[in-house]
Structure 1
Amino acid sequence: MQKNSKRDFGSFHASNVQELLGLPEAEYQPPAFPIPVPRFTDCQLETGHSCRRKHFLLEEDCTFINHGAFGGVLREAMKSAQEWQMYVERQPLRFYDRELLPHLVYVTRRLAKFVCCDPTDLVLMINVTTAINSVVRGLDLQKGDIIYMLNVTYGAVKKLLQFVCESTGAVLQEVQLNFPVTSKDQVISMVEKTLSSGVRLAVFDHIPSNAPVILPLKEIISICKERGVPVLVDGAHALGALPLDLRALDPDYYVSNAHKWFCCPKGSAFLYVRKELKAQTRPLVISHGFGSGFNSEFMWAGLHDYSPFLAMHVNMNFWEDIGNKKIQQYMYTLCRESCDLLTSLWHTKLAAPMEMFGCMALVELPRQLYHSNTAATYSTGEAIQNQLYHQYNIEVPVKCIQGTLYIRLSCHIYNELAEYEKLGKCVLEMCAMKKLCSEGSETIGNIHSQDESCTA
C-alpha cells in the first residue's frame, strides 16, 4: 500500500492518478524511493573528455559527434534504471500493483515543472514516434481535410501522415523550405503565404533532424492560431537542447524525446496536449486506465520496462544541479566554434545563419570531395559517412540537402573542439586522396588514348 503523508489513498488504482496529478504542490507528498537517486549539487560543470569518462559510456577511441542520432545516456541514469530493474524483480507484484503508479505520477509532476506546463496535460511516452501516432491517429479526419507540413519534417512522421491521408482521403500539403536558409523571416514568410485557414492540422519540427535549424515556433504558432489551425510540434531534439516553456510557446500538441539531448535511458519521452484537446487524444494501447482520465489512460500501457521513466529523476537532478543555462551555453558555444573552424578550413558555408543553430549545425562539405558538376545524392553522402567511420573512426552523419552535402555536427558537453579539428583534417585528407586518384585516372586514360592512336 502506497502512503501519502497528507492523504491516504489506500490501495492505488488508475483512478487515483488524476487526483495525485491535480494536487497543489503544497498538498503533494512524493513517494519514498527504494533506491538511491544521486544529486549533483557538489559538482562543477565538467566538459570534454573528462566529462565523457565520468558521466558517459561512450568508447574512448571513437570520435563521436553524432549525439543527435540516438543520444547517449548519462552513466548515472543508466545505473539508476538498472537498479530499478533489479528492485522490481525482488517483488514484482508489490511494485506493479502498489508502487509503480505513484512513482510515475511523481516523475510526471517533476517533468511538467521542468518544461513549464500543468502535469495533468503531460503524459510519459516511450518515444516521439508513438506520441505523434497517438495524436494523429486520434484525429477524426475526413475526405478533403488538409494536413500541413514542411519538407524538413522527419521521415517517419511523413510516412505516418501519408498513411492516414491515404486511409481517410485527407490531403497532405508539403511546403518546401529552400536551403541555404537566409533568416528566420524566410521561414515565417513562407508559412504566412502557404498556410490556409481551415487546415485540419499543421505539423512543425522544433529542430528538424536532417536540417537542424531552430524554427521560429513562437511566430509560426501565432500564425496558426490567427487562422484557427491546430499545431503539433515535433520537438524530438528539444528537451535538453533548448530551454522549454510550453506555457509561453502555447502549442496544441508538443512531443519530445528524453533519450536524446537530455541523456535519459532509451525509451523515455513525453506528450503534451492542450486541455481542450485531451478528450480526443487517446493512447494507441487501451488498457486498465481506460475511462479513468487522460493521464490514467496513457500511464499504464500493459507490462513493459518502466525503468527509463523512473530514471529520469537522475537526469532532472543533473540538469537542475549543474544548471540548464551552463550546459546549453557550453553546447552552443562549442557548436559555433566548430562551425567557424570547419567553414574556414574547408572554405564552405553553413546551411543557415549561425543564430538559427543550437547544439547541431549543417556545415557544407568541400565540393572536391564529390562531383562538383552534378547534384549530390543520398548515396554519395552515405559513402562519405561510411568512409569517415571505417577509415578514421569518426561517427558523424552526412546529409544531402537539395543536392548539396553537409556534415551535421552534434555538440554535447562531452565533446571538445579537438574532435572537430580531427574531422576537418580528415576531410581535407580525403579530398587530397580523391584529387590524387582522379589525376592518376586521367594520366592512365591519356596513356591508353595515346596507345590506341598509335595502334590505329
Structure 2
Amino acid sequence: MKSTKDMAKRDFGSFHASNVQELLSLSNEEYVPHQIPFALPSFSDLDKDSNGELLFGRQMKSTFFLLEESCCFLNHGAFGASLKPALETARKWQLYTEEQPLRFYDRELMPLLVHVCRRMAAFVSCSPTDLVLVNNATFGVNSVLNSFPWSAGDVILTFNITYGAVKKLVKHICLKTGAINREVELKFPVQGRKEIVDVLRTHLDACDIKLVVIDHIPSNAPVVLPVREMVQLCRQRQVRVLVDGAHALGALPLDLTDLDPDYYVSNCHKWLCSPKGAAILYVRPDVQAEVRPAVISHGLGSGFSSEFVWAGLHDYSPLLALHTVLDFWEALTPSAIRKYIQQLLKDATDLLIKCWGTRLPAPLDMFGPMALVELPESIHQMFNTIDYSAAETVQNALYHDFNIEVPIKSLQGRLYVRISAHIHNQLDEYEKLGGAVLAISGRAGNSGVP
C-alpha cells in the first residue's frame, strides 16, 4: 500500500479525484492529515460558574452566536444558528482560497476535504469510506432517490409527517418512474415508540414496498422516531430505508454503524451549528455502487467518495469550517451540551403546560431538542377552522407584536407551538412565550380579532 507521504506528492485537481478514495481508506495509523494553512480558534478557556459548570444560555449566546439580543429566538430547528468562530474560520478559508485559487482547488482542496470527512465519520461512528460531505440534506435525498433502480409499480412508503420537500420529491419520482407513493398516517397524540413500530409493521405486511423514508426527527411533529427498531424491521423484510436525519446531527448521539440504514442524510447547520452549506450523506457499502450524486462531475467512475467530493465550483468553506465546529463540540463535550438542552426542554414544556393548561402530543421522553406544546383552548376559539392559516396568524402575531421567533403547527385539528432548545436559550424566553400567547388570546377575546 502506498504511504500517505507518497500520495501527498500526487496532484489532485478537480479533474483527478481518484486518490480521495485511497486517502479515506487508510487506517488512522497510516493517515497523515493535510496541513491547515492558518491557526484555528481555540476553546480552551470557556466561561464557567463557581462550581466549574459551563455557562449556557445568555452567556453562550453573546459569546458564540450572532443572534440578536432583542429577539426571543425559539426556532433553532428551522435553519440553526451558526457559531461565530466557525463563521470566522469559513471566512479565513474564503480569503485563503483567493490568494491562489489554482493552488487551493487543484492541489489542496480534496485532501483537506478528506481530513474533515474522516473527523465527521468518527463523530457519527462510521467508516470514512461510507460518508460523503454535501451542501445540504436536500442534495443527499435527491442523490439517493434519483439513483434508486425504480420500476413501475414499486412502492415508496412515507409518513404523513414526512418533510414537505421530500414529499414533493417523492411525487416527482413517482411521476417520472411509475413508482407509487403510499403514505402511513401516524395519529396524535401517540402513546409510545412501540405504537409507531407497530404501524410500520402493519404496512410492511403488504410485501410490495421497495423503500421506506423515515424522518429521524420530523419537522412538523418532532418526536424522535425509533429509527433503530424501524430499520431492523425493514431489514427483516428486505426493504431499503432512507433516514432523513436533518435534525439529528448534534441533537442526538449518532452511531450510523449501529443504526445500519441503507442511506442517512443530515444537516450540519442545524443542531451542530455549522455555517450554512454543510451536510452529510451516509450510504451502506453494498449499495454505494448505484448511488450517483445529484450533480455529476469529474469524479464519475472513480468510486463513491470521489464522485461526491467535487460537485463543480462552489464555496467549500462551510465544509472546511467543520473543523472548528467539531473542535467546539469536543471542548464542551456532546454529553454536556445535550444534558443542558434536554433539561431546558423539560423545564420549558413543564412551564408552558402549566401556563396554558394543555398537553404534549407524545410523552416527553419521545422528544429530543424540540417539542410540541398544545396551545390553550382560548387560542383555538379564535378560529372557525384549525389549519395552516390559523397557525400562521398566531405565529405572525408572536413575531410582529412580541419579537418571538417560534413556529406554530397545525396538526390533526389542533394548534401547537414547536419550541426548540439549544445552548443559547434559557428558561425566561419560554416564560415570555407563555405570557405572549395568553395576551394574544385575551386581546382576541376583547376585540374579536387576533
Distance in 1 separating the partners of 2:432 and 2:371: 17
1:408 is aligned to 2:418:
yes
2:56: which partner in 1?
47
Q: Which runs of 5+ in 1 are unaligned?
A: 441-456
2:124: which partner in 1?
115
**Contact 2:245 2:265 (C-alpha < 8 Å) held by counterparts:** yes
Distance in 2 separating the partners of 1:126 and 1:408: 26
Q: What are the Cα deviations for residues 234-281 of structure 1, in whole angstroms up to 9, with x where unaligned? A: 000000100000011111100000000000000000100000000110
Distance in 1 separating the partners of 2:296 and 2:368: 38
1:224 is aligned to 2:227:
no
1:159: which partner in 2?
168
2:293: which partner in 1?
283
1:452: which partner in 2?
none
Task: Give 1:4 deviation, angstroms.
Answer: 4.7
Select 1:316's aligned residue among 326, 343, 366: 326
Select 1:429's aligned residue among 424, 439, 443: 439
Select 1:337's aligned residue among 338, 347, 353: 347
Paired letter, 2:346: R
The alignment partner of 1:207 has SS state of coil
Select 1:25's aligned residue among 24, 28, 33: 28
1:72 is aligned to 2:81:
yes
Task: Give 1:181 deviation, angstroms.
Answer: 1.2
1:99 is aligned to 2:102:
no
The alignment partner of 1:31 has SS state of coil
Paired letter, 2:23: L
Task: Give 1:209 deviation, angstroms.
Answer: 0.5
2:310: which partner in 1?
300
Distance in 2 separating the partners of 1:122 and 1:63: 36
Distance in 2 separating the partners of 1:350 and 1:36: 46
Distance in 1 separating the partners of 2:100 and 2:361: 54
**Contact 2:241 2:263 (C-alpha < 8 Å) held by counterparts:** yes
Distance in 2 separating the partners of 1:371 and 1:170: 42
2:51: which partner in 1?
none
2:194: which partner in 1?
185
**Contact 2:4 2:23 (C-alpha < 8 Å) held by counterparts:** no
- Greater shift, 189-198 or 96-105, is seen at 189-198
Select 1:83's aligned residue among 64, 88, 92: 92
TM-score, normalization: structure 1? 0.94
2:135: which partner in 1?
126
Q: What are the Cα deviations for residues 275-323 of structure 1, in whole angstroms up to 9, with x where unaligned? A: 0000110011111111111101100011100000000011101111110
Task: Give 1:434 deviation, angstroms.
Answer: 1.3
**Contact 1:81 1:310 (C-alpha < 8 Å) held by counterparts:** yes
**Contact 2:34 2:111 (C-alpha < 8 Å) held by counterparts:** yes
Distance in 1 separating the partners of 2:67 and 2:222: 23
1:368: which partner in 2?
378
Task: Give 1:372 deviation, angstroms.
Answer: 7.0
Distance in 1 separating the partners of 2:100 and 2:163: 41
2:401: which partner in 1?
391
Paired letter, 2:286: E
**Contact 2:162 2:218 (C-alpha < 8 Å) held by counterparts:** yes
Task: Give 1:6 deviation, angstroms.
Answer: 6.9
Task: Give 1:371 deviation, angstroms.
Answer: 2.5
1:450: which partner in 2?
none
Distance in 2 separating the partners of 1:299 and 1:380: 44
Distance in 2 separating the partners of 1:117 and 1:430: 48
Paired letter, 2:166: V
**Contact 2:4 2:30 (C-alpha < 8 Å) held by counterparts:** no
Distance in 1 separating the partners of 2:276 and 2:24: 25
Paired letter, 1:211: A
2:392: which partner in 1?
382
Paired letter, 1:175: V
Paired letter, 1:185: K
Q: What are the Cα deviations for residues 317-359 of structure 1, in whole angstroms up to 9, with x where unaligned? A: 1111110010011001100100000000000001111000011
The alignment partner of 2:78 has SS state of helix
Distance in 1 separating the partners of 2:45 and 2:34: 25
Distance in 2 separating the partners of 1:285 and 1:207: 27
Q: What are the Cα deviations for residues 136-162 of structure 1, in whole angstroms up to 9, with x where unaligned? A: 000121111000011110000000001
**Contact 1:123 1:298 (C-alpha < 8 Å) held by counterparts:** yes
Distance in 2 separating the partners of 1:186 and 1:41: 45
- Aligned residue pairs total 438
Distance in 2 separating the partners of 1:414 and 1:249: 30
**Contact 2:34 2:115 (C-alpha < 8 Å) held by counterparts:** yes
Distance in 1 separating the partners of 2:224 and 2:293: 29
Task: Give 1:370 deviation, angstroms.
Answer: 3.0
Question: RMSD of the alignment, in Å?
Answer: 1.5
Distance in 2 separating the partners of 1:256 and 1:384: 30
Select 1:234's aligned residue among 232, 237, 244: 244
Task: Give 1:8 deviation, angstroms.
Answer: 4.0
The alignment partner of 1:11 has SS state of coil
**Contact 1:287 1:301 (C-alpha < 8 Å) held by counterparts:** yes
Task: Give 1:9 deviation, angstroms.
Answer: 3.6
Distance in 2 separating the partners of 1:149 and 1:62: 36
**Contact 1:6 1:28 (C-alpha < 8 Å) held by counterparts:** no
The alignment partner of 1:27 has SS state of coil
**Contact 2:72 2:429 (C-alpha < 8 Å) held by counterparts:** yes
**Contact 1:4 1:31 (C-alpha < 8 Å) held by counterparts:** no
CA distance 1:373–1:384, shift in 2 (3 Å): closer
Q: What are the Cα deviations for residues 381-422 of structure 1, in whole angstroms up to 9, with x where unaligned? A: 001000000000000000000111000000000000000000
The alignment partner of 1:26 has SS state of coil
Task: Give 1:15 deviation, angstroms.
Answer: 1.2
